[in-house]
Structure 1
Amino acid sequence: MELVIDNLSKTYPNGTQALNNVSLRIAPGMFGLLGPNGAGKSSLMRTISTLQEADAGTIRLGDLNVLEQPEQVRQVLGYLPQEFGVYPKVTANELLEHFAVLKGVSNKGERRQVVDALLHQTNLWEARNKNLGGYSGGMKQRFGIAQALLGNPKLIIVDEPTAGLDPTERNRFHNLLAEIGEDRIVILSTHIVSDVSDLCRQFAIINKGRVLYTGDPLVAIEEMRGQIWRRSVPKAELASYQQQFAVISSRLFAGQTIIHVHSLAQPAHGFEPVEPTLEDVYFARIHAAEQVAVEVAKG
């Protein structure tokens, strides 16, 4: 089963064009949707999840027309939104039981087996009778995945799942996502590049409602080889370098500003080549698209 998105567009009543002719083909496995805040990721996730309609385009999940058969899609869909609220005075066990009933698991014995299995899978068994209000951020996210897995969905969407998690919980959550992504489509929507490089075999970069790149992260990195250059510059001179070169990122290190420049050849004396990362790919694609937009605006 594949998820096929063709020429999907969405403009909100305030005039914001959230999606602009988005086309993607997503096979089973982990798929990363990478973009800055406001890029259109959540709008795309909500549309795929049947929570909002599109203005144009089509989405197909196997034989299902997602935009025309929302009820059937919801039966095979698991969704963990960016803002996932829980009832603080209810236990994980109780709320998961309730969600299982809503998912149509009516047989009490079967429901008990399903809930117990999910609590074990998400490493929440020992805390199953603890009120959700006492859960850490990572535990709440794992509970969110447990509810998303109810009904053995064929498509799971997780929106910014590791934002705010400490390193230990983030690693635990990564392991859980990798496990559930082995035999179904899992879309990971995030602005954290390392989440995609760690987990996904396929990914897309989206910005301002447009898909800028789609492919294999390793191939994307290889395509950028020999095109990323690094130099340490005084902070006061950063703006000057940004005017002269395609500076795609900058960071402070030991009081100096380290810049990365995208160029097919050495930009100038003092720059050294550096092995590209997926972060470089991401920033280079975003920067190139913004430069094109500037040139178009100039006419």
Structure 2
Amino acid sequence: MNLVIEHLSKTYPNGTKALSDVNLRIEPGMFGLLGPNGAGKSSLMRTISTLQEADQGSIRLGDLDVLANPDRVRQVLGYLPQEFGVYPKVTAAELLDHFAVLKGISNKSERKQVVDGLLQQTNLYNVRNKNLGGYSGGMKQRFGIAQALLGNPRLIIVDEPTAGLDPTERNRFHNLLSEIGEDRIVILSTHIVSDVSDLCRQFAIINKGQVLYTGDPLLAIEEIRGQIWRRTIGKHELDSYQQQFAVISSRLFAGQTIIHVHSLAQPGNGFESVDPTLEDVYFARIHAAEQVATPQVVNG
């Protein structure tokens, strides 16, 4: 069962164009939706999950028309939104049991079996009787995945799930996502490039409501091999280099600035070729799109 999105557009009442002619074909497995904050990721996730309507376009999950049949979609959907609230004075077992009732699991013994199984899967069983207010951020995110898995959904959407997690919890969460993404569609919406490179076999880059690229992360990296160049410069030189070269990223190291430039040929003395990463792919695509949107003005 594939998720097929065609010509999807959404403009909010304040005039913000959140989605512009989005086209995606997503197969079972982990799919990364990568973009900066405000790129349209959450708008797309909310539309797929039937929380808002589109202005035009279509979404199909197998034979199911998502936009025309929201109730049927919700029966096969698991969703972990970016902002996931919990009742702080309720235990994980109690709240997950409540969610299971809402999901239609009415038989008490069956419900207990499902709840216990999900708490085991998310490594929360030993703290199932602890109030959720005492959970760490990572534990709350794992509880969010547990509720998203209720009803054995065929489509799972997780929106910015690792933001704010420490490295240990992030690694644990990655392992959990990898496990559940083996036999169903899992869409991982994030601005963290390493989340996608670690987990996803397919991904898309989105910015300002437009899909800039879709494909395999490894192939995307190969496409720009030999085109990424690095140089260490003084912090005060950054503006000058940005005017002369396609500087796609910069970072500080030991008080100096390391820049990455995207160029088909050697940019000049002092630059060295480096092996590209998915981060370079991401920044290069964002930079190229912004250059098209705001072309340089030449005087004279």
Same fold (TM over 0.5): yes
- With the shorter chain as reference, the TM-score category is over 0.9
Report the residue type matching 1:236 in the other structure.
Answer: H
Distance, in Å, in 2 between the alignment partners of 1:184 and 1:173 is 17
User: In the alignment, which residue of structure 2 is the partner of 1:245?
Assistant: 245
**Corresponding position of 1:185:** 185
Cα distance in 2, alignment partners of residues 199 and 277 from structure 1 = 15
Q: Which 4+ residue blocks in structure 1 deviate beyond 6 angstroms?
A: none
| 1:22-37 aligned within 5 A | 22-37=22-37
Cα distance, 1:78 vs structure 2? 0.1
Equivalent residue number for residue 292 of structure 2: 292
Q: 1:148 maps to which residue?
A: 148
* Separation in structure 1 between the aligned mates of residue 109 and residue 158 of structure 2, nearest angstrom: 29
C-alpha displacement at 1:22, in angstroms?
Answer: 0.2
Which residue identity does 1:288 align to in structure 2? Answer: A
Question: Following the alignment from structure 2 to structure 1, what is the Cα–Cα distance between the partners of residues 176 and 100?
Answer: 20
* TM-aligned CA distance change 1:271 to 1:204, over 3 Å: same
1-structure distance, mates of 2:294, 2:256: 29
**Residues 78, 296 of structure 1: CA spacing in aligned structure 2 closer, same or farther, 3 A cutoff?**
farther
**Residue 47 of structure 2 is aligned to residue 52 of structure 1:** no
Q: Secondary structure at the match of 1:67?
A: coil
Matched, 1:233 2:233: yes
What is the TM-score of this pair, normalised by structure 2?
A: 0.98
**Aligned residues: percent identity?**
85
Does structure 1 residue 21 correspond to structure 2 residue 17?
Answer: no
1:179, CA displacement in angstroms?
Answer: 0.1
SS of 2:182's equivalent?
coil
CA distance in 2 between counterparts of 1:8 and 1:156 reads 20
- Where 1:291 maps in the other structure, the secondary structure is helix
CA-to-partner distance for each residue in 1:193-231, whole Å, 9 max, x for gaps? 000000000000000000000000000000010000000
Flag structure 1 segments of 5+ consecutive residues without an equivalent. Answer: none
Alpha-carbon distance in structure 2 between the residues aligned to 1:238 and 1:281: 21
Task: Give 1:295 deviation, angstroms.
Answer: 2.2
Q: Which residue of 1 aligns with 2:214?
A: 214
Structure 2 counterparts to residues 1-299 of structure 1, below 5 A: 1-295=1-295
- Output the CA distance in 1 between the equivalents of 2:289 and 2:154: 34
Q: CA deviation at 1:187?
A: 0.1
Change (3 A) 1:225 1:160: same
- Measured in 1, the distance between the counterparts of 2:113 and 2:187 equals 27
State the secondary structure of the residue aligned to 1:183.
Answer: coil
Letter in 1 for 2:39: A
Aligned-pair CA distance for 1:20: 0.1
Distance (whole Å) between structure 1 residues aligned to residue 211 and residue 268 of structure 2: 32
User: After superposition, what is the alpha-carbon deviation per residue over 1:21-49, rounded to whole angstroms, capped at 9, x for unaligned?
Assistant: 00000000000000000000000000000
Provide the rounded CA distance (Å) in 2 between the counterparts of 1:296 and 1:147: 49
What code does the residue aligned with 2:132 have?
L
Distance of 1:55 and 1:47 partners within structure 2: 10
Q: How many Å separate the matches in 1 of 2:297 and 2:237? A: 27
Q: Distance in 2 between matches of 1:89 and 1:254?
A: 46
Listed one character per residue, the Cα deviations across residues 57-76 of structure 1 (whole Å, up to 9, x for unaligned) are 00000111000000000000
CA shift digits 1:90-123 (9 cap, x unpaired): 0000000000000000011110100000000000
Letter in 1 for 2:255: G
For residue 290 of structure 1, give the secondary structure of its aligned residue in structure 2.
helix
Q: Distance in 2 between matches of 1:52 and 1:190?
A: 20
SS of residue matched to 2:152: coil
Q: Distance in 1 between matches of 2:163 and 2:116?
A: 27
Question: In structure 2, do the counterparts of structure 1 residues 210 and 258 end up closer, same or farther at CA, with 3 Å as the change threshold?
Answer: same
Q: Matches of 1:227 and 1:82 in 2, distance apart?
A: 35
